[in-house]
A and B are shown apart, each in its own frame.
Chain A
Amino acid sequence: MNGSNAVSSRRRRFDQIVAVFHQDMYRYAAWLCRDKSVAEDVVQEALLRAWKSLDALRDEAAAKQWLLTIVRREIARHYERRRLETVDIDNLTASQSAMLAEAPNEELSDLRESIYELDSDYREPLVLQVIMGYSTNEIAELLGLKQGAVLTRLHRARLQLKENVADEMCS
């Protein structure tokens, strides 16, 4: 394969991977950052890093975990730089509240707000399990936790959401 073919082949491979996993990357970033603008910036940075280190991805089957790990690291870098650690739900910026505002109905909006308020230790495994389709074992591997800890966090996350939903219905 000559140099030009290698370059276009590399670019094709990258585009294919990104086309499949871009939505996952964004949603993962959005729920970890809880801010649409930050999530977009993080995904841009993550794509750049993924492109630079594409050759390290040996197995296409591992692409999703590889990309999400890059996103995770980018988020850590972002917050290390910016020191934005807490979010006051009653005092959100426009791009933070935009995440909540787009829910199609009030019930979903309330639930989204409850997820938004979950501690990140609970929110992250929930996102990975529910919309990324990760097993608890895969979550444990990605987050560097024991599987039992992941199960506990997921259990607590759902109980908390269940209680919040019940409270909303009562009120």
Chain B
Amino acid sequence: MSRETETMNCEQYREAISAEPAFDGGTEHLSACVDCQTFRTEIRALDVRIESALLVDVPELKMPELPDIETVAASDNVVPLASRRSFSKPVWLALAATVLLAALIGIRLPDFGTSYASLEEQVLAHVDREPGAFRVTSTPVSESRLAKAVPAHIAALNHDVGMITYAQSCSINGYPVPHLVIQGERGPITILLMPNESVSEARTFEGENVHGVILPVGSGSIAIIGNREEQLDRVTKKMLDSVNWST
């Protein structure tokens, strides 16, 4: 046990032992308190019975019919979001010209220096650049990683948003943008929290195999992008309920 417990009183000790019956701290208090010794014995005895009660009979394993790998690869659940999307020809030409110009004058384009026709284009381009975010996984990110990606001075996020499987601190137009991914019905759903990007109304957009929406939230906005088949309404509502800007 890592918690320091030598100065515990009865209440603290009982809270600790009933939260973790294996708790072995608080020895100084315990040696002097007969009531807490009794409490510990009772809790540990109770826990043995709780374990027996929880061990319900398990029916024989019935393995479902498992599709072959080729079918799996084509199924909705494992197809990641398309990491490529279509730019229109003029946009490609504009981008190519920008890169060429940058090369000619010998500078490396920083992210916020690239010009985009719209915030939607910029959001899609940003999503394209982080293929690691498209991994289908059931493993949530740790609290510490989430806290780094969504620092308290940018936004507060409650857990109603769902299981977050990717969290990274990114930037758009030079401003920090927490980049999150949750797992949707049709693959990963990307969420960009943009406290400094104001939009006057919800704006929907589409890329190759993906669609998304940029929602006005206070003085900023939130972009949500998912597979074209994904229903984003539920995520949208959850995000609106879950995010509060700190500034």
Residues of A within 8 A of B (CB): 6-7, 10-11, 14, 18-19, 22-23, 26-27, 30-31, 36, 40, 44-45, 47-49, 51-53, 55-56, 62, 65-66, 69-70, 73, 99, 102-103, 107-108, 111-112, 115, 126-127, 129-131, 136, 140-142, 144-146, 150-152, 154-155, 158-159, 161-162, 165
Contact = CB atoms under 8 A, between A and B. Distances in A.
Residue of B21, B42, B55, B69 ringed by the most chain A CB atoms within 10 A: B69
B163 A73 contact: yes
Contacts of A6: 69
Given A7-B69, A27-B58, A151 B20 contact: yes
Contact of B64 (A47, A146, A154): A47
B136 A53 contact: yes
A18 B77 CA distance: 20
A158 B69 contact: no
B53 A56 contact: no
B71 to A, nearest CB: 9
Contacts of B36: none
A48 B64 contact: yes
B138 A66 contact: yes
B94 interface: no
A78 to B, nearest CB: 13
Contacts of A70: 138
Contacts of B34: none
Interface string B52-74: 11111111011110111100100
B93 to A, nearest CB: 38
A45 B77 CA distance: 12
A66 B139 contact: yes
Query: 9 nearest interchain CB pairs?
Result: A151-B19, A154-B19, A155-B19, A112-B53, A158-B18, A69-B138, A111-B53, A144-B159, A56-B137
Contacts, number: 138
Interface string B93-123: 0000000000000000000000000000000
A65 B139 contact: yes
A151 B43 CA distance: 15
Interface string B187-203: 00000000000000000
B84 interface: no
Given A49-B77, A130-B47, A30 B56 contact: yes
A44 B59 CA distance: 12
A144 B164 CA distance: 9
Given A48-B66, A69-B163, A151-B19, A130 B51 contact: yes
Given A56-B137, A162-B43, A108 B53 contact: yes
B143 interface: yes
B40 to A, nearest CB: 12
B152 to A, nearest CB: 14
A150 B42 CA distance: 21
A22 B139 contact: no
B61 A18 contact: yes
A73 B140 CA distance: 12
A154 B46 contact: no
Nearest to B51: A130
B19 A152 contact: yes
B53 A102 contact: no
Given A44-B64, A47-B64, A162-B42, 11 more contacts: A30-B56, A31-B56, A36-B56, A40-B59, A48-B66, A51-B66, A103-B53, A126-B54, A152-B19, A161-B50, A165-B46
